[in-house]
Amino acid sequence: MSTAPHTADQLRDLAAQAGRDLEEASAQDILRWAADTFGPRFCVTSSMEDAVVSHLASQVAPGVDVVFLDTGYHFPETIGTRDAVAAVMDVSVITLTPRQSVAEQDTQYGPKLHDRDPDLCCSLRKVKPLEEGLTAYDAWATGLRRDESPTRAGTPVVGWDAKRQKVKIAPIARWTQEDVDSYVAKHGVLTNPLLMDGYASVGCAPCTRRVLQGEDSRAGRWAGRGKTECGLHG
């Protein structure tokens, strides 16, 4: 299949068609379609909460680009997971960084912007760097799952990211937490050690807490701040 660059109209049509055709497909088949269709203009993005999608993609597209956003606020365990993924998996880890260091941001906006204006902090440290980093790609895969939170319940396996004019792929959208756990156990996939320490979803350290029994997996993100997503997926 051709991997020549696509126009935005072609990408949008491809996303709509694949979203219908691949709704019932396995994660591997969805990723195989993406790798065949987009070649090197396809990447996986990972928060390094676990390496499930990276592992799946490495099976069908060895050496695939895995894009990681280093906000400067990550837990050491997250950076360690990224380094371990780069060392042991057949992927090419690409680290994106914000234009400003945390110190430079503190100088311009004052310290702890994440407490005062988390939307601006996420925009500066996540949304803009990803937008710039994704210009090299036509399609990106994420680990979004429908069972993670009500805001993610409608996630298509292949959709159109109108904001970035890219095809957005969620190969494990239909998976449950049990599916993830069993894939991790079966294949010995790397996971962030914080998942064994009460965290169900791992983001930046200042904005992530452990979850309580009965809470959904993303309840520990921006807890008490009326914010549920960082803007990467909205």
Nearer residue to ligand SF4 within complex by CB, 3 or 151 = 151
Q: Which regions of 101-189 does DSSP assign to beta strands (E)?
A: 139-141, 158-161, 166-169
Minimal distance, residue 108 CB to ligand SF4, in Å: 14
Amino acid at residue number 96:
L
Minimal distance, residue 143 CB to ligand SF4, in Å: 17
Parallel, antiparallel or unpaired: strands 166-169 and 158-161: antiparallel
Could you give the CA distance from residue 200 to residue 48 in angstroms, rounded to a whole number? 13
Nearer residue to ligand SF4 within complex by CB, 12 or 128 = 128
Nearer residue to ligand SF4 within complex by CB, 33 or 75 = 75
Minimal distance, residue 111 CB to ligand SF4, in Å: 12
Number of H helices, E strands in the chain: 9, 6
- Identify the DSSP state of 197: T
Nearer residue to ligand SF4 within complex by CB, 73 or 140 = 73
Give the residue nearest to ligand SF4 (CB): 204
Residue 230 a catalytic site member? yes
- The residue ranges that bind ligand SF4 (CB under 6 A) are 71, 73, 114, 118, 121-122, 125-126, 203-204, 206-207, 230
Minimal distance, residue 47 CB to ligand SF4, in Å: 10
Q: In Å, what is the CA distance from 41 to each residue of 9, 90, 160, 210, 233?
A: 16, 17, 15, 36, 19
Could you give the CA distance from residue 167 to residue 219 in angstroms, rounded to a whole number? 28
Where b means 16+ CB within 10 Å and e means fewer, 175-201 reads beeeebeebbeeeebbbbebbeeebbb
Nearer residue to ligand SF4 within complex by CB, 165 or 217 = 217
Minimal distance, residue 214 CB to ligand SF4, in Å: 24
Q: Which regions of 57-108 does DSSP assign to beta strands (E)?
A: 64-69, 91-96
Active-site positions read 230
